[in-house]
Structure 1
Amino acid sequence: MKETTKGTLAMIATGLLWSIGGIFIKLVPWNPLAIAGLRGLIGGLVMFAYLRLRGIKPVFNKDTVKIAIALAGVCSTFVAANKLTTAANAIAIQYCAPVYVLLYIAFVQKKKLRPLDIAVVPITIFGVSLCFIGQMGKGHLAGDVVAIISGLFFAAMFITSEGVSDQTRASGIMQGQFLTALIGLPVLFATRPAFTAQAIGGILILGVFQIGLAYVLYSIAIKRAPLLTCSLLAVLEPLLNPVWVFLFAGENPGLWSIVGGVIVIAAITLWYAYDARHPAMQTTAQTEPEPA
């Protein structure tokens, strides 16, 4: 199996794990920042265990700081956006991140993009927007602005994770999760939520799988698959989130959600099939091992 294929599969698995957040957050009746804080702490411990199993010594440098700030920024601003605007607005606006990644590739990395690369991004965003067409516009301006900032952090997470060693990438992700915990745990202690069996089960699944294992797979994916591929496959999260809520909570996603999901999945599938036959000039970043 090609390295790019391995990275793509890892990113698909990452998107699947990210997508279970909505249904399990519903099981934890806590303040959102409290959830983010404890979830981040557990996720950071999972990443630390991964580093130990791989025999990778954690490092702290300017690159890990960039990754950590981007990751903590995503988690914190997305939670804030969900409090200030509708969840539909927050996630739809945040997933404009592929546009920011595309602009970065074109104008900063100065890599030549094919027409298909350029076309697939707006098509993907259009499909995601259809998923929330019945609810868009109901949020407040402040929340929508925070969601835009969340999208910028989301794009920055992909960008800062590319082109660094496994050691730096995994260390930065771990530090980002602990930084999120540092932001959210004071709220947990201040609000003193009830630790029921349901809440404990939900937070463990969120921390171990939706954040911990997901970011282990993400660290593998971003090394092996192209940057744009990873950012596009991340849209599996907002597409599948309402599916799980429908299956396990009985909330009907609606016709527009189904149409939007089909458009996005079709666009990404066709783009990836074409890319497999006609590889782009861009390649995944080469990394150099760092001293232990």
Structure 2
Amino acid sequence: GWLLACYRSLFASLALLPMVSWRRVRWRPGLLVSAATFTAMNTSYVIGLTRTSAAAATFLQYTSTVWVFLFGWLALKERVHRGNVVALLCAVSGIMWIVLAERDQQRADGNLFALGSGIGFAGVVLSLRWLRDEDSTWLTFLNHLISGLVLLPIVLPRGVELQPLQWLLIALLGIFQMGLPYVLAARGVALVTVQEAALILLLEPILNPIWVWLCWGEHVGWPTLIGGGLILGGLAVRYAAWKGPEVVTD
């Protein structure tokens, strides 16, 4: 877990390095907060993934949606749309359905790490919104670089030797699973509220098993289909069916 979290981040930062517009780079203390939450999310998720079921680890990470709503309202003073509340309730129902239905494959310590990654992920989304005037590539590069460097002293003493194919796979994960998607996420969060960002990001854990099924034919269980349907239904309510006014909750 530690090794994957470390090297995946370092490869992502290497891939993003040539893309950073250094003329737009500036330093501010909030960047350290962003990097700290990213490191916590990255590490706790990978450790959780090795200690519980993949579905539980992924969907428990996305309990971040609840924390984003709460802290977006309290810290960023964002308005809460009624449609967002309906979508949130559907999302939480879908997540809990999947986690509880697959509890036989889970371990308590893995679930705790996955829940911790959810809190960390909420911090990442909030940080991206808070730092929305920063260059998204620079912000993503710095998050991955600091995360990898912080974990490096933990990984190196373990003396794990990887085969060339393993290095290649980790590099691809770093570039295409972490680096480039987070650049797009950083740009997107700058244009919408953190509530909307958190809800839209729920598409990722739904699409994961679908891509696995399409590419490798792996069976998608009913818990994932039902839970994913609840999440998608909530998003449909938010963006298609709900026309109500915003509610100011301050």
Q: How many aligned positions are there? A: 247
User: What letter is aligned with 1:175?
Assistant: L
How far the C-alpha of 1:39 sits from its partner, in A, is 1.4
What does residue range 134-213 of structure 1 map to in structure 2 within 5 Å?
Answer: 134-136=101-103, 138-167=105-134, 170-186=137-153, 187=155, 190-197=158-165, 199-213=166-180
Q: Structure 1 CA distance, aligned partners of 2:135 and 2:125?
A: 14
Q: 1:126 — aligned with what? A: 93
How far the C-alpha of 1:253 sits from its partner, in A, is 1.3
For the pair 1:36 / 2:5, whether they are aligned, the reply is: yes
Q: Structure 1 CA distance, aligned partners of 2:11 and 2:119?
A: 25
Q: Matched residues, percent identical?
A: 23
User: What letter is aligned with 2:44?
Assistant: T
Q: TM-score w.r.t. structure 2 length?
A: 0.86
User: What letter is aligned with 2:164?
Assistant: T
What does residue range 60-75 of structure 1 map to in structure 2 within 5 Å?
Answer: 60-75=27-42
The structure-2 alpha-carbon separation of the partners of 1:239 and 1:129, relative to structure 1 and needing over 3 Å to count, comes to: farther
Q: Structure 2 CA distance, aligned partners of 1:39 and 1:188?
A: 14
Deviations for 1:106-161, whole angstroms, at most 9, x for unmatched residues?
Answer: 33334442332222112112123333443125433322222221111110111111
Q: Structure 2 CA distance, aligned partners of 1:169 and 1:65?
A: 15
Q: 2:237 — aligned with what? A: 270
Whether contact under 8 Å (2:82, 2:244) holds in the other structure is no
How far the C-alpha of 1:56 sits from its partner, in A, is 4.0
What does residue range 10-159 of structure 1 map to in structure 2 within 5 Å?
Answer: 32-52=1-21, 55-136=22-103, 138-159=105-126
- Secondary structure in 2 matching 1:167: coil
Aligned to 1:227, which of 194, 205, 208?
194
User: What letter is aligned with 2:160?
Assistant: R
How far the C-alpha of 1:59 sits from its partner, in A, is 2.9
Q: Is there any run of 5+ residues in structure 2 with no aligned partner, and where?
A: none
Q: Is there any run of 5+ residues in structure 1 with no aligned partner, and where?
A: 1-31, 283-292
Question: What root-mean-square deviation, in Å, do the aligned CA atoms of Structure 1 and Structure 2 show?
Answer: 2.5
The structure-2 alpha-carbon separation of the partners of 1:56 and 1:158, relative to structure 1 and needing over 3 Å to count, comes to: farther
Q: TM-score w.r.t. structure 1 length?
A: 0.75
Whether contact under 8 Å (1:112, 1:281) holds in the other structure is yes
Q: Structure 2 CA distance, aligned partners of 1:246 and 1:134?
A: 20
Q: 1:20 — aligned with what? A: none
Whether contact under 8 Å (1:85, 1:138) holds in the other structure is yes
Q: Structure 2 CA distance, aligned partners of 1:278 and 1:139?
A: 40
Whether contact under 8 Å (1:58, 1:171) holds in the other structure is yes
User: Any runs of at least 4 consecutive aligned residues in structure 1 with deviations exceeding 4 A, and if so which?
Assistant: 277-282
Deviations for 1:67-122, whole angstroms, at most 9, x for unmatched residues?
Answer: 11111111111011123333232222221111111111333334442332222112
Whether contact under 8 Å (2:61, 2:115) holds in the other structure is yes
The structure-2 alpha-carbon separation of the partners of 1:168 and 1:63, relative to structure 1 and needing over 3 Å to count, comes to: farther
Deviations for 1:22-73, whole angstroms, at most 9, x for unmatched residues?
Answer: xxxxxxxxxx322222211121123332223xx5443332110011111111
User: What letter is aligned with 1:44?
Assistant: S
How far the C-alpha of 1:268 sits from its partner, in A, is 0.8
